Structure 1
Amino acid sequence: MSADRGPGGAAVLRVLVADDHALVRSGISGLLEAADLEVVAEAADGEEAVRLALELRPDVVVMDVRMPHVDGIEATRRLREHPDAPAVLVLTTFDLDEYVYRALQAGAGGFLLKDAPPSRLVEAVRTVAAGEALLAPAVTRRLIERYLRAPAAGTGTDPGAHLSAREREVWLLVAQGLSNAEVAARLFVTEATVKAHVTRLLAKLGARDRVQAVVAAYESGAVRPGG
């Protein structure tokens, strides 16, 4: 395992890997540790993943979707019921696309396709650990749009009603998959300013993280699929 501090004294991210295939778990763990991340434990199913995550308090759980007993989506939901739960990066395959939106609803910080290159896995772990929802890739936006049910006309409320004009502008850009840096460039402000807007709008929306803010934007109709 890696030490608690990496080169230059920076804190090393602690990761738990959950997958029901031992070879897959081993491969993921090896890739992460080769990138100077610390794999604190491995789990073979969702129930074990929840237990170990609450016991060991990793920064990120890399969670497979299809596992016995308790699947990755239910495990994510159980974990995210705890306010100090780790971030969750859900792994999926193209034939499991229908689960992605459910995973985001359950509180996952993002998802990654299993055929992604190794460097993308490491990048994804670091991204969700930093609180930057992994929603930027176009495939992610398409999946969210595909599996969202349009709200019934006249029955929904606007969760962004109490946002300032600039906060709402930032919210809608985040919902379209833009990172803080991309939002800053679009609005001609600093990234620190965007982060401050995001913090305030999350509080006003009652959203735990950026993923919930994105879900709220689509479910309320503030952002339309394909728009």
Structure 2
Amino acid sequence: MNPSIIIADDHPLVLKGLQGFLTEKNYNILGSATNGKEAYKLILKHEPDIAILDIRMPHLSGIEIAELCNEKIDTKIILITFEKNGVFYHQAKQLNIYGYLLKEFALVEIENCLKSVIKGAPYFSKEIEDQFPKEKEIVNIDALTPSEKRILKLIANNKTAKEIAKILCISNRTVEKHKSHIIKKFNLESKHNSLSIFAKENEDFLD
């Protein structure tokens, strides 16, 4: 089944073009918005699988919406922009954004991006990735939220996800979501014990 999608962009032609293209491809478009405030209301109301958001919009930017959604809503965020801006790019990386496309290539890349995101794999436009290569691999524990730090500390102490959920009075699903965010933030390998090894290596920085 195709994912549910919300689109937001303050450029009418871009919004109409994306909406028409995805509708033609039989994607499930729940709604569209021309500013960030409307977009965030739609996300809260519908909790779509995916939200395709312009970075620069009136009232709330795509980045600000991603910050509001982070840890609260499972909607996967795809950002689109005309700007080749390193600040936005690195903010997107820190916020666990699932997709990042330049508008000039959006209609060419959006289907591949959506297919990747549906599978849980982030998709960043090659043009933007080439311009801003990955910053290698300086561990910045401050990139973690307080909740992520607490969970990583407990992982370092050999606690299971079930035990962590009980200690922090949260659901197992929330624990797994935090773990997934940590793995993405630090580009950890997909091996089953990679997060445990990382937690133990960096335990001294988690106090």
| Bin for the TM-score computed over the shorter chain | 0.5 to 0.7
CA distance 1:27–1:56, shift in 2 (3 Å): same
Match of 2:29 among 32, 35, 39: 39
Bigger drift between 102-111 and 137-146 goes to: 137-146
Matching residue of 1:112: 101
Q: How does 1:140-151 map to 2 (within 5 A)?
A: 140=129, 142-143=131-132, 145=134, 150=138
- Does the Cα contact within 8 Å between 1:131 and 1:210 map onto a contact in 2? no
CA–CA separation in structure 1 for the residues paired with 2:177 and 2:49: 25
- Does the Cα contact within 8 Å between 1:100 and 1:144 map onto a contact in 2? no
CA–CA separation in structure 1 for the residues paired with 2:66 and 2:44: 12
Give unmatched runs, 5+ long, in structure 2: 141-151, 157-174, 202-207
Which digits, 9 at most, give the CA deviation of each residue in 1:86-140, with x for residues without a partner? 1011112343332011022123112011111524112212221221111483742
Amino acid of the structure 1 residue aligned with 2:3: L
Matched, 1:95 2:84: yes
Matching residue of 2:42: 52
Which digits, 9 at most, give the CA deviation of each residue in 1:135-161, with x for residues without a partner? 483742652536x89568xxxxxx7x9
Matching residue of 2:179: 206
CA–CA separation in structure 2 for the residues paired with 1:14 and 1:87: 11
CA–CA separation in structure 2 for the residues paired with 1:62 and 1:210: 23
CA distance 1:50–1:81, shift in 2 (3 Å): farther
CA–CA separation in structure 1 for the residues paired with 2:44 and 2:120: 19
The ranges of structure 1 where at least 4 consecutive aligned residues each deviate by more than 6 angstroms after the TM superposition are none
CA–CA separation in structure 2 for the residues paired with 1:16 and 1:203: 25
Aligned-pair distance for 1:69? 1.3
CA–CA separation in structure 2 for the residues paired with 1:21 and 1:73: 17
CA–CA separation in structure 2 for the residues paired with 1:133 and 1:214: 11
Match of 2:54 among 36, 61, 64: 64
- Does the Cα contact within 8 Å between 2:82 and 2:104 map onto a contact in 1? yes
Q: What's the TM-score once normalised by structure 1's chain length? A: 0.59
CA–CA separation in structure 2 for the residues paired with 1:213 and 1:207: 10
% identical equivalent positions? 22
Aligned-residue Cα RMSD (Å) equals 3.5
CA distance 1:66–1:86, shift in 2 (3 Å): same
Q: What's the TM-score once normalised by structure 2's chain length? A: 0.64
